[in-house]
């Protein structure tokens, strides 16, 4: 029943996107059952009903790829980056959940373990989630795009790469 609801939701999202206009570069990709569609600097994730910033924080989309230098941020610094993104790109930006970030892992993509056509210039290193470790609330989960592993061991002050996400309305 739940998978039927997800399928119906995914079809509804595709219909809404088609009504909104053609996707830029009309890209679609699959990674671990997740379908992505690109629109300029955004990636629409139909599986989770969210949209990702295509580039790692510190880099910007130039129409073809992400340029600049990725920055590593603590959780507090990531909160500042989120505030700035909300001011500049509209409300709702946040750090991804563990499940959302793990959904970007591509087992067949090599290093970094992410579809580099959809998410170019991704660093082959850990990225923050906004989710604390359920066994140690002082530590946060991260997903490492070098090896695809998930860790729940980093303290909030550790600088890691950041990719922002927001729920689709």
Omega into 120 within 30° of 0, i.e. cis? no
- Global pTM reads 0.80
Distance CA 38, CA 9 (A): 18
Question: Quick check: 86 and 124 in contact, CB under 8 A?
Answer: no
Could you give phi then psi for residue 28, rounded to 5 degrees?
-135, 140
**Which range of residues forms the domain containing residue 112?**
2-167
Going residue by residue through the chain, which has 169 residues, state the pLDDT in tens, using 9 for 90 and above: 444 443 333 333 333 233 233 333 333 344 444 589 999 999 999 999 999 999 999 999 999 999 999 999 999 999 999 999 999 999 999 999 999 999 999 999 999 999 999 999 999 999 999 999 999 999 999 999 999 999 999 999 999 999 999 999 7
By DSSP bridging, strand 165-167 and strand 59-61 are unpaired
Domain count within the chain: 1
Cis before 112? omega within 30: yes
């Amino acid at each position: 029943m739940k998978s039927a609801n997800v399928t119906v939701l995914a079809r509804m999202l595709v219909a809404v996107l088609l009504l909104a206009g053609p996707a830029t570069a009309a890209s679609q990709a699959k990674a671990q059952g997740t379908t992505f569609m690109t629109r300029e600097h955004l990636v629409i994730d139909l599986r989770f009903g969210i949209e990702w910033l295509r580039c790692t924080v510190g880099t910007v989309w130039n129409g073809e790829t992400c340029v600049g230098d990725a920055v590593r941020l603590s959780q507090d610094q990531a909160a500042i980056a989120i505030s700035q993104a909300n001011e500049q790109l509209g409300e709702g930006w946040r750090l991804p959940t563990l499940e959302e970030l793990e959904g970007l892992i591509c087992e067949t993509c090599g290093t970094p373990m992410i579809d580099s056509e959809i998410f170019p210039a991704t660093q082959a290193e850990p990225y923050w989630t906004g989710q604390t470790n359920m066994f140690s609330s002082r530590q946060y989960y991260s997903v490492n795009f070098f090896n695809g592993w998930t860790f729940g061991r980093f303290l909030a002050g550790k600088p890691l790469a950041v990719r922002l996400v927001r729920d689709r309305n």
